[in-house]
RNA sequence: GAUCCCAUCGUCUAGAGGCCUAGGACACCUGGUUUUCAUCCAGGCAACCGGGGUUCGACUCCCCGUGGGAUCGCCA
């Protein structure tokens, strides 16, 4: 472990939306940097001009901002650094650590086929590795001159030491025939130039790492620390993908999840701090460390996300929650924050809401403009209660000087006694009449929040 | 096929040789509170992949097997 400053990066390729897997490695990188007062840098890996799309890039940046993963300095675009990469290629060509290759795609396909047929790993046969004659005309690629023997050890911070035989590694392409550099090469150059101290990424990159280490050594670069985190799986234990449902961070945002809940859920997936389940963002930053990462892949469970979302909603300031609901989920509950009775109602709604999108339906009955009663529901639930009882209740309420939840409910009890009815018979009718549904917060809370006039008015069928 | 990785309740995980009769959380089930639903509270169900070692002693260490995954592109 070096004592140089901690600098981490998230390096998405704008060829798709930010998915939960990518988000998690971003979270780990972000947390490590913040924990150690280091830097967290964003690098857009858009060297694949064909597949890279501006829409994806802005989608990714939006999701990052939403999650609260603020990065330091402006994002770096690899597409603007081709000259830099090419100059390093020239250096390597000159130093003899890379070489030109004129093999055509057809020839390569034939090689692969032949190797596979013999039960071997498909590899380039290195036919131009020591080529010295006159250079053929036509397009060429540049390949890295991988050592023919020896081994490369990856000292991974989460996986431990992993040893690779160099002979297993191909003379891979670092510059395409269209003069653009490839991923494995640009990563090495950028991580070096950006002084990245910790490379944190998905473990689908483990097999790329020895290639990168070899190039770093060939270029005389110091190695960064590596941490490869396990993949996130779907319920069927296969790599999480679209067919498992929502995979994009933005989809979760739309579905009404809180960024902190998302952060908490993703962090807890593959990382732990004893038995602690709930983490505020500050705690995440102060407690995160790579040694808490597990080695095995994990299944993403939406039920747990639901639970955490509820927990984080409860932990929020009411004002903050109201603003969020009003600005992003079209539900304005700001009037509920005025007065004790309605604040109690608001808290009751938070208790039962799982997602931010739930508040709309949960609170609909409270507002006259969205209050609806379904005749069928009324017919089947109110008829058991004699009209006379409801009339009596109306009189009781009208005469109730202090219409608190307790007093208003006491009226129900009084009427029940007078009319020789069971309380639930009346209470059920009242609930349906006042809220239009069979399930609502506690009657006392509902009555107090509604107030005498509205309660009395709604008692009429 | 080759290389590499992984393996504790259904799921996320704690566990770094004796503290484990394996703990917590989610989900699920039961009871209580709420004379509704939800919440909340109490309780319950439920796991160390298999086989060999090492050791006085293995969930923990080693080997083999089995299972799962990743990677083998002029994608990243």
Say how far A166 CA is from B26 C1', in Å: 45
Distance of alpha carbon A239 from alpha carbon A77, whole angstroms: 28
Residue A138 contacts strand B, CB under 7 A? no
With a 7 Å cutoff on the CB, does A307 touch strand B? yes
C-alpha closest to that of A356 among A257, A219, A440 = A257
Residue A212, pLDDT score: 98
How many angstroms separate the CA of A457 from the C1' of B40?
A: 33
Does A168 contact strand B, using a CB cutoff of 7 Å? yes
- Distance separating alpha carbons of residues A152 and A203, to the nearest angstrom: 17
| CB-based contact A82:A181 (threshold 8 Å) | yes
The answer to whether A180 and A82 have CB atoms below 8 angstroms apart is: yes
Pairing of strands A98-101, A141-144: antiparallel
| Chain B nucleotides reached by a protein CB under 7 Å | 1-8, 10-15, 23-27, 34-39, 68-76
- Positions 6-65 in A, CB within 7 angstroms of strand B: 13, 15, 45, 47-48, 51
Cα separation, A70 vs A68, in Å, equals 6
Q: What are phi and psi of A189, to 5 degrees?
A: -65, -50
- Pairing relationship of beta strands A298-299 and A232-233 according to DSSP bridges: parallel
Contact A105, A173 (CB under 8 A): no
**Predicted pLDDT at A427:** 92
Question: Strand B closer than 7 Å to the CB of A264?
Answer: no
Q: Is the CB of A237 under 7 A from strand B?
A: yes
Question: How buried is A74 (Cβ within 10 angstroms: 0-12 exposed, 13-18 middle, 19+ buried)?
Answer: exposed
Report if CB A233 to strand B is under 7 Å: yes
Per-residue model confidence (pLDDT) at position A361: 93
**CB-based contact A230:A221 (threshold 8 Å):** no
**Could you tell me which of A362, A345, A350 has the C-alpha nearest to residue A445?**
A345
- A209-229: buried (b, 16+ CB within 10 Å) or exposed (e) per residue? bbbbbbbbebeebeebbbbbb
Residues 399-458/A with CB within 7 Å of nucleic chain B are: 409, 413, 416, 422-424, 427-428, 431, 438-444
Q: Along the 461 residues of chain A, how does pLDDT read in single tens digits?
A: 457 899 999 999 999 999 999 999 999 999 999 999 999 999 999 988 888 999 999 999 999 999 999 999 999 999 999 999 999 999 999 999 999 999 988 889 888 888 887 777 888 989 999 998 899 999 999 999 999 999 999 999 999 999 999 999 999 999 999 999 999 999 999 999 999 999 999 999 999 999 999 999 999 999 999 999 999 998 888 888 888 888 899 999 999 999 999 999 999 999 999 999 999 999 999 999 999 999 999 999 999 999 999 999 999 999 999 999 999 999 999 999 999 999 999 999 999 999 999 999 999 999 988 898 888 888 888 888 899 999 999 999 999 999 999 999 999 999 999 999 999 989 999 999 999 998 999 999 999 999 999 999 999 87
Q: For the whole model, what pTM was predicted?
A: 0.94
DSSP β-ladder status, A39-44 and A76-77: parallel
pLDDT value at residue A1: 46
Q: What is the pLDDT of residue A34?
A: 98
A119 beta carbon to strand B: under 7 Å? yes
- Least Cα distance to A266 among A298, A218, A225 occurs for A298
The residue to which tokens 């160099």 are assigned: A166
């Amino acid at each position: 472990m070096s004592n140089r400053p901690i600098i981490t990066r998230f390096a998405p390729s704008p060829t798709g939306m930010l998915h939960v897997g990518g988000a998690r490695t971003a979270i780990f990188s972000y947390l490590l940097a913040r924990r150690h007062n280091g830097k967290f840098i964003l690098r857009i890996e858009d060297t694949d001009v064909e597949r890279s799309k501006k829409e994806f890039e802005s989608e990714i940046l939006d999701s990052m901002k939403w999650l609260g993963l603020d990065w330091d300095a402006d994002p770096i675009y690899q597409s603007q650094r081709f000259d830099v990469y090419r100059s390093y290629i020239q250096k390597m060509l000159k130093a003899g650590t890379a070489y030109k290759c004129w093999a055509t795609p057809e020839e390569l396909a034939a090689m692969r086929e032949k190797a596979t047929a013999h039960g071997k790993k498909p590899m380039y046969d290195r036919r131009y590795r020591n080529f010295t004659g006159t250079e053929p005309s036509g397009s060429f690629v540049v390949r890295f001159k991988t050592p023919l023997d020896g081994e490369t050890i990856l000292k991974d911070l989460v996986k431990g030491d992993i040893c690779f035989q160099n002979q297993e590694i191909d003379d891979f392409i670092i510059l395409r025939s269209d003069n653009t550099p490839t991923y494995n090469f640009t990563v090495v150059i950028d991580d070096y130039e950006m002084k990245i101290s910790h490379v944190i990424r998905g473990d689908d990159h483990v097999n790329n790492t020895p290639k990168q280490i070899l190039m770093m050594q060939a270029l005389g670069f110091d190695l960064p620390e590596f941490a490869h985190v396990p993949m996130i799986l779907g319920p069927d234990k296969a790599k999480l993908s679209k067919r498992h449902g929502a995979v994009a961070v933005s989809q979760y945002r739309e579905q009404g999840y809180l960024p902190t809940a998302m952060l908490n859920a993703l962090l807890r997936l593959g990382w732990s701090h004893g038995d602690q389940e709930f983490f505020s963002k500050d705690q995440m930053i102060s407690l995160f460390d790579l040694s808490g990462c597990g080695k095995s892949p994990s299944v993403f469970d939406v039920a747990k996300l639901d639970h955490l979302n509820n927990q984080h909603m409860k932990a929020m300031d009411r004002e903050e929650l109201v603003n969020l609901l009003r600005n992003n989920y079209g539900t304005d509950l700001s009037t509920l924050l005025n007065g004790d009775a309605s604040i109690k109602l608001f808290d009751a709604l938070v208790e039962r809401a799982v997602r931010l999108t739930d508040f709309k339906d949960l609170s609909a009955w409270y507002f006259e403009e969205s209050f609806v009663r379904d005749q069928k529901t009324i017919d089947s639930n109110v008829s058991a209660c004699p009209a006379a009882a409801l009339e009596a209740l109306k009189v009781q309420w009208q005469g109730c000087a202090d219409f608190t939840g307790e007093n208003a409910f006491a009226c129900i009890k009084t009427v029940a006694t007078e009319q020789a009815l069971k309380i639930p018979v009346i209470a059920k009718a009242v609930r349906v009449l006042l809220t239009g549904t069979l399930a609502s917060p506690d009657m006392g809370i509902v009555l107090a929040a509604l107030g005498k006039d509205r309660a009395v008015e709604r008692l009429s069928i």
